Amino acid sequence: MKVQLLDLKAQFKGIRSEVLSAIEGVCEDQGFILGQRVADLEADVANYLGCKYAIGVASGSDALLLSLMALDLQPGDEVITVPFTFFSTAGVVSRLQATPVFVDIQADTFNIDPEQIEQKITSRTKAIIPVHLFGQCADMTKILDVANRHGVKVIEDACQAIGAGQNGQKAGTFGYTGCFSFFPSKNLGGVGDGGLIATNDETLRELLLALRVHGSRSDYHHDHIGINSRLDALEASVLLVKLQHLQGWNEKRAKNAAYYETLFADAGLLERVTLPHTVPGNVHVFNQYTIRAQKRDQLMGYLKEQDIGHKVYYPVPLHLQECYQPLGYQKGDLPVSEQMAADVLSLPIYPELPESHMEMVVGAIKDFYGKH
Ligand SMILES: *Cc1c(COP(=O)(O)O)cnc(C)c1O
């Protein structure tokens, strides 16, 4: 591929010896489950985020699932979230036999429209899961206000937003819990699956520590019905290395986004594409650089011909997914989400992306619109 959407090998090159010696250390110790490295990572991430506690778990999806389990979500309970997100945001609600209730998003941020939350709250609403999509925080002031007025908990899906901020506070530290993913393509990616829950509540921390090991606080004594969802020592050892680079990598992503802005403006393309909008007060960490493009599908065909990496996150909003037909949503029910699914296109933005590649991306898009 001429221009890759994501090149993890470029990142590995810069930290190769640190990562390999971290992995070697775990192999020498032969301690693979939880242990000191996981505890160290939890402390370092909590410190980085500016919250009291962090609990390592097996994935971002499990971080969401365990947060809902800690709430003692019951079948028939409702959880408000968005349809324009990765599947697991709503999938975890359904796994607990509760019902996801979808609220539409704002076109400029792709995040939940806080003004539409209140009308969806019922006596069965237990939580709101805002998603900080693509690396930018949803409007936490308004979301917390409506949640607090109704006694509903907020679980932040910050899987794409580690290091993102709003009014000086980091994503994942506003709510009841903040959920993070270490899936390799995230801004802080491991060498496999991994996740983490952030919280400021000590009782909740104790409960989550138990829930991730089958609900037991001491060996073979089970106070709760939990699951097996631990972070591996191997993951933690690599993440400890990578965490030290996260701030720099996030800044590189933002720098790349700024360069795209210059390139798109200079190419005279601002009538054809809508670039990402960062709300004042937000620090955007650009897990994805997602534009809206006229004739999106034709443009994708052209980029494919030109061997330029790109992807649509997400092509089908969750309320229109096959598995959610039983919820009874129709096309047109959540019009902004549906429009975004038709318009969005994510372009390469990873920290090591060469400027020449961004120039090729924008050059190809300019060629396309010159002909269409
Ligand atoms: C990646 C992601 C998840 C799930 O994380 P996993 O670690 O893959 O389970 C959940 N929500 C969003 C928005 C994500 O991007």
Query: Which residue has its alpha carbon closest to ligand 1 atom 6?
Result: 60
In a domain, 280, yes or no: yes
Question: What residue type is assigned to position 95 of the chain?
Answer: R
CA distances from 8 to 4, 5, 232, 241 (A): 10, 10, 21, 15
Instruction: Give the nearest ligand 1 atom to 131 CA.
Output: 13
CA 350 to chain CA mean position, Å: 15
Ligand 1 centre and the CA of 256: distance in Å?
Answer: 23
Instruction: Give the nearest ligand 1 atom to 182 CA.
Output: 7
Indicate the number of domains in the chain: 2
- Residue 163 has what DSSP assignment? T
The percent of residues above 70 in pLDDT, for the chain, comes to 100
Ligand 1 centre and the CA of 201: distance in Å?
Answer: 23
Residues 270 and 228 in one domain: no
Residues 83 and 194 in one domain: yes
Q: Is residue 317's pLDDT more than 80?
A: yes
pLDDT band at 263 (very low <50, low <70, confident <90, very high): very high
Ligand 1 centre and the CA of 162: distance in Å?
Answer: 12
Alpha-carbon distance 44 to 26, whole Å?
A: 18
Measured between its terminal Cα atoms, the distance across the chain in Å is 24
The CA angle 350-352-357, to the nearest 5 degrees, is: 80
Residues 221 and 253 in one domain: no
In a domain, 2, yes or no: no
Residues 333 and 359 in one domain: yes
pLDDT (mean) for 14-33: 98
Residue 214 structural domain: 8-103+110-240
In a domain, 3, yes or no: no
What pTM, to 2 d.p., does this model score? 0.98
In a domain, 326, yes or no: yes
Which of 206, 225, 240 represents a domain boundary (last residue)? 240
Pocket test for ligand 1, best of 62, 64, 82, 86 (most atoms within 8 A of CB): 86
Residues 205 and 153 in one domain: yes
What is the structure's pLDDT at 133? 98
pLDDT (mean) for 304-323: 98
Instruction: Give the nearest ligand 1 atom to 61 CA.
Output: 9
Ligand 1 centre and the CA of 89: distance in Å?
Answer: 7
Contact 135, 287 (CB under 8 A): yes
Residues 222 and 254 in one domain: no
Residues 224 and 258 in one domain: no
DSSP line for 49-62: HT-SEEEEES-HHH
Residues 55 and 183 in one domain: yes
Alpha-carbon distance 136 to 349, whole Å?
A: 14
Pocket test for ligand 1, best of 66, 81, 160 (most atoms within 8 A of CB): 160
Edge-first strand order for the sheet with 282-283 is 169-170, 165-166, 282-283
Residues 256 and 367 in one domain: yes
CA distances from 40 to 32, 43, 53, 157, 241 (A): 14, 5, 12, 23, 11
The CA angle 230-231-233, to the nearest 5 degrees, is: 125
What is the structure's pLDDT at 49? 98
In a domain, 33, yes or no: yes
**H/E element, 217:** strand 216-218
Ligand 1 centre and the CA of 181: distance in Å?
Answer: 6
pLDDT band at 129 (very low <50, low <70, confident <90, very high): very high
Ligand 1 centre and the CA of 84: distance in Å?
Answer: 13
In a domain, 307, yes or no: yes
pLDDT band at 198 (very low <50, low <70, confident <90, very high): very high
pLDDT band at 261 (very low <50, low <70, confident <90, very high): very high
What is the structure's pLDDT at 238? 98
Taking the CA atoms of 294, 297, 299 and 303 in sequence, report the sign of the dihedral they define: positive
Bond before 314 cis per omega within 30 degrees:
yes
β-pairing, 153-157 vs 125-129, is parallel
Residues 122 and 251 in one domain: no
Ligand 1 centre and the CA of 35: distance in Å?
Answer: 24
CA 198 to chain CA mean position, Å: 14
pLDDT (mean) for 182-209: 98
Ligand 1 centre and the CA of 156: distance in Å?
Answer: 12
Instruction: Give the nearest ligand 1 atom to 287 CA.
Output: 15
Pocket test for ligand 1, best of 61, 191, 235 (most atoms within 8 A of CB): 61
Provide the CATH number for the domain around residue 177.
Answer: 3.40.640.10
What is the structure's pLDDT at 58? 98
Which of 217, 240, 263 represents a domain boundary (last residue)? 240
SS3 274: strand
What is the structure's pLDDT at 1? 77
Contact 100, 319 (CB under 8 A): no
Alpha-carbon distance 135 to 106, whole Å?
A: 15
What is the structure's pLDDT at 141? 98
Residues 157 and 132 in one domain: yes
**H/E element, 154:** strand 153-157
Residues 43 and 155 in one domain: yes
User: pLDDT tens digits for 95-112?
Assistant: 999 999 999 999 999 999
Instruction: Give the nearest ligand 1 atom to 85 CA.
Output: 13
Ligand 1 centre and the CA of 312: distance in Å?
Answer: 16
Which of 207, 240, 273 represents a domain boundary (last residue)? 240
Q: Is residue 293's pLDDT more than 80?
A: yes
pLDDT band at 321 (very low <50, low <70, confident <90, very high): very high
Question: What residue type is assigned to position 160 of the chain?
Answer: Q
In a domain, 315, yes or no: yes
Ligand 1 binding pocket, CB closer than 6 Å? 59-61, 85-86, 88-89, 131, 157, 159-160, 181, 183, 193, 195
pLDDT (mean) for 134-156: 98
Ligand 1 centre and the CA of 266: distance in Å?
Answer: 35
In a domain, 358, yes or no: yes
Provide the CATH number for the domain around residue 282.
Answer: 3.90.1150.10
Structure tokens at 224: 């709760």
Contact 287, 161 (CB under 8 A): yes
